[in-house]
Amino acid sequence: MNTDNLGTILVTIVVGYGCIEFMVLLCDVLYGQMESSDMAENVGRAVESE
């Protein structure tokens, strides 16, 4: 095995893992915003109905 190849493989794995982590974080943030806006709507409806 070439040491150059090993370095390239390691970089690819790290970058790929970083991208996955970033996508997960992004989805988490977007989902969290959707959830909080839903909660705000539900609270608004509850206040209106009373």
Tens digit of each residue's pLDDT, the chain (50 residues) = 677 899 999 999 999 999 999 999 998 888 887 776 676 677 677 777 76
Give CA angle at 47 (39, 36), nearest 5°.
Answer: 10
pLDDT at 41: 73
pLDDT at 7: 92
**For residues 4 and 14, what is the distance between their CA atoms, to the nearest angstrom?**
15
pLDDT at 49: 72
- For residue 36 the two structure tokens come to 């909080």
Helices then strands, each counted (H, E), the chain: 1, 0
**For residues 24 and 30, what is the distance between their CA atoms, to the nearest angstrom?**
10
Count of domains for the chain: 1
pLDDT at 10: 94
Range of the domain at 48: 21-50
Q: Is residue 11 part of a domain?
A: no
* pTM score: 0.48
Q: Is residue 13 part of a domain?
A: no
